[in-house]
Amino acid sequence: MRLRRNMPGKVLFVKKGNRLSLQYHAEKDESLYVQRGKVLVTLDQNGKMKETVGEVGFCIHLLPGTVHRIEALEDAVILEARRRSSPMCLDWKMTTAD
CATH number 3.40.50.450 given to 2-83: no
Query: Structural domain boundaries of the chain?
Result: 2-83
Q: Give CA–CA dist 29/31, Å, rounded.
A: 7
Residue among 93, 88, 94 at smallest CA distance from 2:
88
The 10 Å Cβ neighbour count of residue 62 is 23
| CA dihedral for 40, 81, 67, 16, sign (positive or negative) | positive
pLDDT tens by residue, 63-96: 888 999 999 999 999 999 887 655 555 544 443 4
Q: How high is the pLDDT of residue 89? A: 57
pLDDT exceeds cutoff 70 at 33: yes
Quote the pTM value. 0.77
Predicted local confidence at residue 5, as pLDDT = 53
Residue 84 has a pLDDT of 64
Q: What is the pLDDT of residues 17-31, one digit of tens each?
A: 999 999 988 888 888
The one-letter code for the residue type at 89 is: C
